[in-house]
Structure 1
């Protein structure tokens, strides 16, 4: 692709890459980024994280590599809670100026 050419992508890299479950993957990715940041900040090994969160070490390895297809959104939220984080889900009506959506902030 030459400079100045556009690829016809979207504002979401996961959609551009062809993932069909973009909302779920985006939320998972954001939670995994936060989880991985906490692991690094605390200098925890994968085995230590597994013990703290109740996940298996292979699942922690998947999270560390952002291979999130077989890890539920709920499991990621529970892991964050196990590491002392507050996870909040807020449901409210969509504004008339925007479409209904799912947003995750960490």
Structure 2
């Protein structure tokens, strides 16, 4: 049996898969996961979420299905604020442990 060469991945699977905007997509995914958790926890319908957040129901549907190409980071953050969440953005110099890039924790 022949062994295949294995390349070492990064901390961002989307980057490893070759997505050009991997950091942004990763940040959107984290925010969307949190948003969807809140929607589920509160048993909100898409129409109710749309009314609360100011998003359209089709946009809410996109978030629910993690179709995030046409939804901005800003829109996702504002939706979380509308659901009584505090969103914090921290900017700091890149260090060896934390390379330059975008990280979102929820």
TM-score between both structures, scaled by the size of structure 1: 0.87
Structure 1: any 5+ residue segments left out of the alignment?
none
2:44 is paired with a residue whose SS is: coil
Aligned length: 103
2:66 is aligned to 66
Alpha-carbon distance in structure 2 between the residues aligned to 1:48 and 1:10 = 40
Deviations 1:11-33 (A, max 9, x none): 32212333110010010000000
Counterpart residue number, 1:51:
51
The 1-side partners of 2:9 and 2:28 are apart by: 19
Gaps of 5+ in 2: none
Could you say if the C-alpha distance between residues 7 and 65 of structure 1 is closer, same or farther in structure 2, counting changes exceeding 3 Å?
farther
SS at match of 2:62: helix
The runs of at least 4 consecutive aligned structure 1 residues that moved more than 4 Å come to: 4-7
Corresponding position of 2:19: 19
- For the 8 Å contact 1:9–1:16, the answer to whether it is kept is no
CA 1:45–1:98 in 2, change beyond 3 Å: closer, same or farther?
closer
CA 95–56 in structure 1, closer or farther in 2 if over 3 Å, else same = same
Moved more, 89-98 or 27-36: 89-98
| Aligned CA-pair RMSD | 1.8
Kindly tell me: are residues 86 and 21 of structure 1, through their superposed partners in 2, closer, same or farther at Cα, counting changes over 3 Å?
Answer: same
CA contact (8 A) 2:62 2:68 kept: yes
